[in-house]
Amino acid sequence: MIFAKLALFSLLIIFSKVSFAEETSVSIEVSRDKVNQASQLASQYWQGPTSGPKAAQDKNIIFVAADLRNDSIKSLSHSVIDAIDSIGWNISFLDGYGSDNGQASILTRAISSKPDGIILGGVDIKQRKELLKAAKTLSIPVVGWHAGEIAGIPADESIFYNVSSDPIEVAELAAHYTIIDGNGQSNIVIFTDTSFSIAKTKSDAIIKTIEDYCSMCNILAIEDMPIAKIPQQMPATIARLIEEFDNKITHFVVINDLYIDFALPSLLSSKLSAQYLPRSISAGDGSKAAYKRIETNTLQVATVPEPLVLQGWQIVDELNRAFNNQKPSGYTERAQIINRQNMKKYVDKSNNYDPDQQYRKAYLQLWH
């Protein structure tokens, strides 16, 4: 009887192990299919607008930046200048330096200047509702970049258009890649900044995807860290996480590469040996530093970047549609994962994710 019970117990253990192995294998394959499908859908040829108004003349634009120290916003601003130069508009910049008060102040200044149009670079529209009402009253069109939780026209129509990849698509892609990279058994710490709508949307989608698709993965912690305070808060946070979880963390999943910029020094100087250092995956935006880390396999294995150069041109096109009393283009670029294997194909020598889609030619044909 005892032998029978032991045999039954052994069989249960074996079946349990087989069941877990099968379940893990299925979750990895599902995630791999999702990543492969996204790569196939990402535009390798121009899928943006093919019709639109000629360029309006003599327009003055103010670019209101959340923080021009942010590599993504800085890269975006350069592409906006490039596009604006091609149609002879004027542009000036105001920098909020990452502070809430600073952003409110410069947006107030921008609206008071009564420009022809305003660009919001990473400024959250939910936090600036009243000011945006004032811009609307003055008939100043506003186009945002990462200004809200969805790409396109916000539900409250507080701005003309929000240029962005779909943040949920971006987050799901990062989460699926984490499942694959951890062989279906990732132990994850998520970094987000819920004061920004788009960041909260991303981290919520990361959590949901991990929970829905990977039963053997564990979300160990969710760190809600303001982007503006990353340099100050990251060292103590890394020390606390290592103290709490020791070598159990396999992955950091972050809503912006900036978190990894400041996690890296603390991780490399920690007591963890190289084999236990967490691998990082970012749901945006594809910084120059991130591409270098991925290329050299230095803790970061992937990012889901924004096509910042393309989006700079799209922002100018959306403003031009507003000046000509036309509807927004409705265009949203598909998300693409960048890793060490495909980096040379999609990232140029200047470390910009700039798919060769002939978008400059397409927009110039519309405007001229």
| pLDDT tens digit sequence for 322-355 | 999 999 999 999 899 999 999 888 898 888 898 8
**Using CA atoms, how far apart are residues 125 and 196, in angstroms rounded to an integer?**
9
Q: Strand pairing partners for 95?
A: 65
**Using CA atoms, how far apart are residues 147 and 154, in angstroms rounded to an integer?**
9
Residue 281 identity: I
**Using CA atoms, how far apart are residues 276 and 43, in angstroms rounded to an integer?**
37
**Using CA atoms, how far apart are residues 200 and 288, in angstroms rounded to an integer?**
24
* Residue/partner pairs of 108-114 with CB below 8 Å, 24 or more apart: 110/62, 110/64, 111/135, 111/138, 111/140, 113/62, 114/138, 114/140
Complete domains list, the chain, with CATH: 60-165+306-335+354-367 (3.40.50.2300), 168-303 (3.40.50.2300)
pLDDT of residue 110: 98
**Using CA atoms, how far apart are residues 158 and 124, in angstroms rounded to an integer?**
11
Question: Tokens for 73?
Answer: 């916003």
Tokens 């890793």 -> residue:
339
pLDDT of residue 282: 98
Instruction: Give the other-Cβ count within 10 Å of 50's Cβ.
Output: 10
Question: Tokens for 153?
Answer: 């026209």
Residue 80 identity: V
**Within its chain, how far is the Cα of 141 from the centroid?**
25
**Using CA atoms, how far apart are residues 160 and 164, in angstroms rounded to an integer?**
13
Continuous segment of H or E residues that includes residue 151: none
pLDDT tens-place string over residues 122-139: 999 999 999 999 999 999
Q: Residues in the chain with pLDDT < 50?
A: 3-6, 8-18
**Using CA atoms, how far apart are residues 303 and 352, in angstroms rounded to an integer?**
12
pLDDT of residue 24: 67
DSSP per-residue string spanning 226-294: -GGGHHHHHHHHHHHHHHHHTT---EEEESSTHHHHHHHHHHHTSS--GGGSPEEEESS---HHHHHHH
Closest C-alpha among 122, 124, 173 to residue 333: 173
State the pTM of this model: 0.91
> Is residue 185 exposed (0-12), middle (13-18) or buried (19+ Cβ within 10 Å)?
middle
